[in-house]
Chain A
Amino acid sequence: MRGLRWRQWAATRRRKRRVDIFIQQIINGLVLGSIYALVALGYTMVYGILGLINFAHGEVVMIGALTALTAIGLLVPSGLPGPLVVLGGLLIAIPVCMAVGFSIERIAYRPLRNAPRLAPLITAIGVSIVLQQLAMIGWGRNYHTFPAILPTTPHQVLGAAITDLQILIVVTAAVLMSALLWLITRTRLGRAMRATAENPAVARLMGVNVDRVIAYTFVLGSALAAVAGVMVAANYSIAHYAMGFMLGLKAFTAAVLGGIGNVGGAMLGGLLLGVIESLGAGYIGDLTGGFLGSHYQDVFAFFVLILVLVFRPSGLMGEKVAERA
């Protein structure tokens, strides 16, 4: 009898442990996915309005992260509490990124507004390379480390561990995304953005200052990118000049996954991609009996993208023209 009871107890424990691990992987995925979603919004907003894939967006995230780190490095000796220092870094990074986003649009894209579609795409790649090289000159090629000013002690939630910072990342991302949805659906600027997305020529005739709306779109996307950059630097404690490339690629994937041009889709796509990556890396080894391992983490994300594109070419939530912003 006692043996049986022990076996039951052990089985329950194992099952509980498996559930705990599953919840932990979902949390890992949500943290990663929140960052992807914020970056993906930048891609999707610009695409929705201009039909342009702004490949330089990942670089804006990188500039946000490095600017914040520099500012934080200067603020640390002041002896302010850690969270305030990070907030200070963020408040400096946001306007810098906004300025960068505004300049990119003004210098690189506006002159090509009526050019064939391929020209701005090539320009976008060029801008990305230029920004990366400038960052390399300015910040050097070394890894910059985030000072240890934030608490890293985790909380236990439903058997999984999560830190204050990670909670903050998910909450901030959710708040920012809700605010963006509100802005697009409820404000005058949002209406102008939707009108421009639908038909720039008609919007212009209705008195919308199309150039200004486009500039606002870039500035907004860049502000979100700055926040995402600070999140990446704080969560992984590392930032360097080349960090924007892979992150940008993943975020672009997330935007396509959700349906590029669709703001809700970018949020869903980002969160989904984060969770897929996390679960993929965590379980693929067991599912395939060790045939595929965690080195397929990146492959897994892109594989899902291919599947979505084959079976739903316009993304999960669709590229609904009327609603894209």
Chain B
Amino acid sequence: MTQPFPSRPLPALLILSACLLAACGEQTDTAPSAAPVAGAPSMEAPLVVRLGHVAPLTGPQAHLGKDNENGARLAIDDLNAEGFKIGDKLARFELLGEDDQADPRQGTTVAQKLADSRVNAVIGHLNSGTTIPASRIYHDAGIVQVSPSATNPQYTRQGYAGAFRVFADDVQQGGALGTFAMKNLNARRIAIIDDRTAYGQGLADEFEKAARAAGAEIVTREYTTDKATDFASILTKVKSTSADLLFYGGMDTQAGPMARQLKTLNLGIPMLFGDGGCTVEFHKLAGEGAEGHYCSLPGVPLDKMAGGTAFRERYKAKFNTNIQLYAPYAYDAVRVVAEAMKKAGSTDRMKFLPELEQINYPGLTAQITFDEKGDIKNGAVTLYQAKSGAWSPLETVGGDATP
């Protein structure tokens, strides 16, 4: 990470630069008959910046994927509306939205597609399980990637210079959850269930480490899948261990029905889970069973973000739906990439990557600066409790407040 231009075959970069110099002529549908010639850029033709965005737009997590894409789209519309300039040229941002179905195989297929279409940067993916395999493809193709929501620590620890995230990782989140379970919930006997995905298992492992270090006993570790709906038998197993807290590593599509079945099994212990279950959808899925459970979300609550309330309203007005979860982070991911391009005066990865590494940008969600791995510095984690159909913030651990 110390060398600015890591291992990458030169030809690929040459092609990329050539393409950029020609302003990707074939993409500018409004290009005048005299296409801009390399080295003699015309002031009239806007500089087209193509950003890829990947999230699951179909399947159980489609509601989250659409939320991410909307966040990114809002940022792009803002940039285009405010006449954002890169160098001395007006930039026109375009979003290439792809669907990875939260499936690692599909994730690499669309990553290859974006790499082949030579996008300037990629925002995504949503899930850790898709982000990690895709990051290798982006790295090989020399494309900068900023994930708004992948929390598995491995993502930024593969030595890829172009991999960033604007979200606290599972080490930070798992640690905060472990401390919270011990200090605030007084849990001594903890049962853990995870969904066997890179995200769920990763977070559960980090939580287990933190909880054990704090002196809790892990009474059982059970497993499910990210497609399951029946948890009666594993919850009954949990019941047999007289656990006083249930931790779940996974998404809301399982956490919701699980909370509901917890209630129907008359198992009156609180559930604790990470960002994947910390959604509006959780309340719908869990119904009456939602009340009283806890979740954590990296970052500060939307209301505490500078401009958070305004963002919520603009989002609602534009997409006619409420923010699910990561939209503000997807927004920041786009803005931070745009800012680095502006600073570098170029959409060339060779030029804007060093700027992105050095960036200090007052984002919506936090003051964004990256550490040497590409992780956001001082990522905050906020804990929430389900109260009458909504998540109400309890406390924020770490992180600097947005100035």
Contact = CB atoms under 8 A, between A and B. Distances in A.
A152 B264 contact: yes
Interface string B242-272: 0000000000010011001001111100000
B271 to A, nearest CB: 15
A133 interface: no
A93 B264 CA distance: 26
A238 B289 CA distance: 14
B236 A282 contact: yes
Nearest to B266: A161
Contact of A18 (B229, B230, B240): B240
Interface string A13-28: 0000110010011001
B319 interface: no
A154 B220 contact: no
Given A143-B253, A145-B284, A238-B285, A294 B223 contact: yes
Contact of A32 (B60, B222, B230, B281): B230
A161 B235 CA distance: 12
A132 to B, nearest CB: 13
Interface SS majority for chain B: helix
Interface in A158-185: 161, 163, 166
Interface string A283-298: 1010000000111010
A237 B239 contact: no
Contacts of B287: 147-148, 152, 237
Contacts of B264: 152, 154, 161, 163, 166
Given A141-B62, A154-B266, A285 B233 contact: no
Chain A: interface residue count, which band? 35 or more
Nearest to A149: B287
**Interface-central residue, A32, A281, A285, by most chain B CB under 10 Å:** A281
B257 A237 contact: yes
B236 A21 contact: yes
A141 B59 contact: yes
B230 A161 contact: no
A166 B265 CA distance: 11
A152 B224 contact: no
A282 B229 contact: no
A262 interface: no
B397 interface: no
A121 B288 CA distance: 44
B8 interface: no
> Which of B196, B222, B230, B285 has the most chain A CB atoms closer than 10 A to its own CB?
B230
Contacts of B234: 281-282, 294, 297
Given A143-B60, A148-B287, A238-B285, A294 B233 contact: yes
Contacts of A32: 230, 232
Contacts of A163: 264
B392 interface: no
Contacts of A161: 264-267
Contact of A25 (B236, B263, B267, B281): B236
Contact of A24 (B58, B62, B256, B265): B265
A291 B220 CA distance: 13
Contacts of B236: 21, 24-25, 28, 278, 282
A30 to B, nearest CB: 11
Contacts of B256: 145, 237-238
Nearest to A280: B233
B136 interface: no
Interface string A243-280: 10010000000000000000000000000000001111
A142 B260 contact: no
Contacts of B288: 148, 152
Interface string A212-247: 000000000000000000000000111010010010
B320 to A, nearest CB: 16
A28 B232 contact: yes
A294 B237 contact: yes
B265 A142 contact: no
A114 interface: no
Interface string B95-125: 0000000000000000000000000000000
A278 B230 CA distance: 10
A28 B235 CA distance: 10
A94 B62 CA distance: 29
Given A142-B62, A294-B222, 16 more contacts: A18-B240, A24-B265, A28-B233, A141-B58, A142-B63, A143-B60, A143-B285, A145-B284, A147-B287, A152-B289, A238-B257, A240-B60, A277-B233, A294-B224, A295-B225, A297-B233
14 contacts: A17-B240, A21-B239, A24-B239, A28-B233, A142-B62, A152-B287, A154-B266, A238-B229, A238-B256, A240-B60, A277-B233, A278-B236, A281-B237, A294-B237
